[in-house]
Amino acid sequence: MALKTEKEYLDTIRKMKPRVYIGGKWVDNLLDNPVTRSMVLANAAIYGLAEDPAHKEVMVASSHLTGEPINRNLNVARSIHDLDMRQEMALLTSQTVGTCNYRCVGCDALNSLASTTWEMDRDLGTNYNERFNKWLAYAQANDLAVSGAITDAKGDRKKRPSQQDEIDTFVHLVEKRDDGIVVRGIKVSQSGAIGSHETLVLPGGALREGEEKFALAFAVQNSAPGLSYICQYNAYSAEREMCDDEYELGNPLYGQRETSTMYFDNVFIPWERVFLCGETKYCGRMVTRFAKAHRMNCGGACKVGFADLIIGGTLLAAEYIGVDKVPHIQEKIIDMLRYSETSHACAIAAAMRGREEPKGSGVYLPDDLFGNAAKLNIAHGFWEIIKNAGDIGGGLVVTMPRIKDLEDPEVGPALKKAFGAVAPAEKRLKVAKFLQHWSAGLHGPGTWHGAGAPQTQRFMFTVLTDFEAKKKMAKKIMGLKD
């Protein structure tokens, strides 16, 4: 069965017991802890989307390995259409869960691996691509939830990995055995591994000769002994743990975005799951290809889905106090749309201008410049969007009491008077809480850094732009001689 249902995914996750730590305690069952449950339910909803005939075109692809229908999260893009549907999936999943599609990083990692392992086999005569395809065929056949881990802890940024005082700040090779390798080290800011079956681990950046032990790409089973997850913990985690009714929360079912620090303490990886081991020359391009895909998807289209939700909430907030027809309110809504739709357009352009990379591999990757434009635009635009949401939502977004306080016999009647307007107080508070979730939560910095901080995209602009050609054009039309 190539496509798992939401229920089938949850059935396997009920049995999965990765070593997960959150807020001072170890998690016995992912579905019993309110914070980890929100991550798992978000993943389940992504499985559910693939079951819905209305979303089949976006969520279901055909495996190039077997011809079977597969979840697009496990698809290697083989055409412009595949790229376009991939970015549409990023949009749809964000609109549906209002948090990460936790299979997204894995999807972009596997596209980078498909491309780079093919190139390595061609250049070096290795068999990484064959191995990778077998792993992928297995993942597709079982519709595994696959996450991705890229960012090393990195330590002192002035030093190379091997110069670090603490070598575990980079995932590295400890031992090569007949049957596999043993790895240790730390990956950070990892989205959703705890509720996935496997994680694809890629190098965190380009490496040089002499840094072979850090040149690793592999798939790891998420409950492999030696692997631990230390989850993020913040005010939203505490609020979710403390509240007695999730209806009170900004995103009741799916939460904020849940990440963890992954600690590999001598974890065994069988050779069948190793896709790069020591080939430093290919690490940079492996990461670059991942980034190319991820900036179109996570950086661009995904945040447009978030923007749609924020704009929807903001429209309701305006309507509920009777200002929805006021010109400056409408102007601010249009500004929010301008940022989000421009980013969506960039993501579509990145897909449409995508190309096979490398030639002959059959793997399609998005256009680099437009993907970077999508991400850079929304990184800045998102702050403007949440600023306007806060502006139109009003002070209530951060000064509101609990929704259930409306039912308190002593203070409830006063609160209903205070916050009732065109709509009753409960609706206003519900929308205010939703906007608080976005504008005063984790998504601002998350959107800034996800798929790489904007400085990276600025650097890519300088690399990808032909500045001399632009000067030449300007000179020509001015009639300016050299």
Partner 1 sequence: MEKTPISPLGEGDTEVIALVVNGQLWGLYEGLAGTFASFAYACLAKNTLPGYAAEDILAGADRAGRRLTLTIRGRRSREELAAVMDKALVNIVAFPGGKGEACCVIEAAAET
Binding mask of the shown chain, residues 129 to 168, with x at each position contacting partner 1 by CB under 8 A: -x--xxx-xx--xx-x------------------------
Report yes or no: 180 and 268 within 8 Å, Cβ to Cβ: yes
CA separation for the pair 373, 370 (Å, rounded): 5
Stretch that binds partner 1, among 9-17, 45-53, 103-111, 384-392 (CB under 8 A): 9-17
Which CB, 163 or 266, lies closer to partner 1? 266
- What is the amino acid identity at position 244? D
Which CB, 135 or 236, lies closer to partner 1? 135
Binding mask of the shown chain, residues 222 to 251, with x at each position contacting partner 1 by CB under 8 A: -xxxx-x-----------------------
List the one residue from 3, 6, 12, 246 that touches partner 1 (CB under 8 A). 12
Report yes or no: 93 and 46 within 8 Å, Cβ to Cβ: yes
List the one residue from 273, 295, 430, 433 that touches partner 1 (CB under 8 A). 273
Which CB, 144 or 415, lies closer to partner 1? 144
Stretch that binds partner 1, among 56-64, 308-316, 318-326, 443-451 (CB under 8 A): 56-64
- Which of 240, 256, 352, 338 lies closest to 296, judged by CA? 352
Please give the radius of gyration of the chain, using alpha carbons only, rounded to the nearest integer.
Answer: 23
Which CB, 273 or 344, lies closer to partner 1? 273
DSSP string over 360-415? TS--EE--HHHHHHHHHHHHHHHHHHHHHHHHHH-THHHH---GGGGG-TTTHHHH
Stretch that binds partner 1, among 35-43, 217-225, 237-245, 371-379 (CB under 8 A): 217-225
Q: What is the DSSP letter of 452?
A: S
What's the min distance (Å) between Cβ of 316 and partner 1?
A: 43
- 111-145 per-residue burial string, b: 16 or more CB within 10 A, e: under 16: bbbbbbbbbbbeeeebebbebbbebbbebbbbbbb
Residues 6 or more apart from 149 whose CB is under 8 A from it?
105, 187, 190, 193, 199, 200, 201, 202, 262
**Which residues inside 19-38 make contact with partner 1, applying CB under 8 A?**
19, 26, 28
Residues contacting partner 1: total by CB under 8 A: 43
What's the min distance (Å) between Cβ of 184 and partner 1?
A: 13
CA separation for the pair 234, 147 (Å, rounded): 22
174 binds partner 1 (CB under 8 A): no
List residues bridging with 217 in a β-sheet.
276
**H or E segment to which residue 218 belongs:** strand 216-221
Neighbours of 458 (CB within 10 A): 11
- What is the amino acid identity at position 187? K
Residues 6 or more apart from 414 whose CB is under 8 A from it?
none
What's the min distance (Å) between Cβ of 227 and partner 1?
A: 9
Give the CB-side neighbour count of residue 385, counting CA atoms within 13 A: 32
List the one residue from 165, 179, 209, 468 that touches partner 1 (CB under 8 A). 179
Binding mask of the shown chain, residues 286 to 325, with x at each position contacting partner 1 by CB under 8 A: ----------------------------------------
What's the min distance (Å) between Cβ of 147 and partner 1?
A: 13
272 binds partner 1 (CB under 8 A): yes
Which CB, 47 or 254, lies closer to partner 1? 47
Contact residues for partner 1 (CB under 8 A)?
A: 12, 15-19, 26, 28, 62-67, 78-79, 130, 133-135, 137-138, 141-142, 144, 179-180, 197-198, 221, 223-226, 228, 266, 268-273, 362
